[in-house]
Amino acid sequence: MTDPKETINIENVVASTGIGQELDLQSVAMDLEGADYDPEQFPGLVYRTQDPKSAALIFRSGKIVCTGAKSTDDVHESLRIVFDKLRELSIKVEDDPEIVVQNIVTSADLGRQLNLNAIAIGLGLENIEYEPEQFPGLVYRLDEPEVVALLFGSGKLVITGGKKPKDAEHAVDKITSRLEELGLLE
C-alpha cells in the first residue's frame, strides 16, 4: 500500500513580501506591460509571471502578495522576476526582501473510498462540517498542525492553511491514523 504521504502535491503557495518603498501604481501600470490595475475594483495591481506561473498583487505601500506558485522555490523565483521588473522601471527595491509564506494548499490521496457519513459521526459532528447539499467535501479542522482538510468520497483530500510543506505531511499522518483507529479506512 502506497503511503498517502507520497501522494502529497503542493498546488498553490501564497506569500507576502515588500520592497520597502511606496509606489505610484498608476505609473507602474503604464510602464509594466501585462499589468492589470483597476483601483475602483481592487487597490492592488495584478502582475502575472509566466515561468513560474504566478500572480503578484502589488500595492501602493510597496507590499506584495504572490499566489499561484507550485512550490516555495517558485514563489522566490516569481518574486525575483517581479523585483527585477520593478527595478527596470528604476524603482528602488531592497536587495533581499523578506518573503513570508502565508498559506500552502496541498492535495493528496488516501487510496481508498471514504464513507463520509460514517466519518462525520466517527470524528464527531461537533468537530466537522459536512453539508453535501452545499459542498461534496467534509471539512475537518486540525489543531496540530493548524490546518483545514477537505475530505472527499474518492479518498482524495485537500489540505490548506499550512505554512510549511511539512504541515501537510503531519496532517495526512494524523488523518490516516485517526481514520484507521476508527476503522473507517475501508
Partner 1 sequence: RLRKWQERIRTKDAGERNLQFALSEIDRMASALGVPRSVREVASVIYRRALKEDLIRGRSIEGVATSALYAACRKEGIPRSLEEISEVSRVERKEIGRTYRYISQELGLEMKPVDPKKYVPRFCSELELSEEVQSKANEIIETTAEEGLLSGKSPTGYAAAAIYAASLLCNEKKTQREVADVAQVTEVTIRNRYQEQIEAMGIHG
Partner DNA sequence: ATATTACTTTACAAAGC
Partner DNA sequence: GCTTTAAAAAGTAATAT
Contacts with DNA by CB under 7 A lie at 11-12, 14, 16, 36, 41-44, 46, 48, 53-55, 57, 59-61, 63, 65, 67-68, 102-103, 105, 107, 134-137, 139, 141, 148, 150, 152-154, 156, 158, 160-161
Find the binder of partner 1 among 34, 125, 166, 180 (CB under 8 A).
Answer: 125
143 binds partner 1 (CB under 8 A): no
Cβ atoms 11, 166 nearer than 8 A? no
Count interface residues toward partner 1 (CB under 8 A): 20
Find the binder of partner 1 among 120, 123, 171, 172 (CB under 8 A).
Answer: 120
Residue number, 55 or 121, with CB nearest to DNA: 55
What are the C-alpha distances in Å from 2 to residues 8, 110, 118, 149, 168?
Answer: 11, 9, 24, 20, 17
134 binds partner 1 (CB under 8 A): yes
Q: Which three cell numbers mark 45?
A: 495591481
β-bridge partners, 128:
140
Find the binder of partner 1 among 97, 136, 145, 165 (CB under 8 A).
Answer: 136
Residue number, 136 or 165, with CB nearest to DNA: 136
Strands (E), the chain: 9-18, 36-37, 45-49, 54-58, 63-69, 100-109, 128-129, 138-141, 148-151, 156-162
Cβ atoms 24, 58 nearer than 8 A? no
Write out the binding residues for partner 1, residues 146-185 only, by CB under 8 A: 152-153
Element (H, E) at 174: helix 165-181
Q: For binding to partner 1 (CB under 8 A), which residues are involved?
A: 113-117, 120-121, 125-126, 129-134, 136-137, 152-153, 186
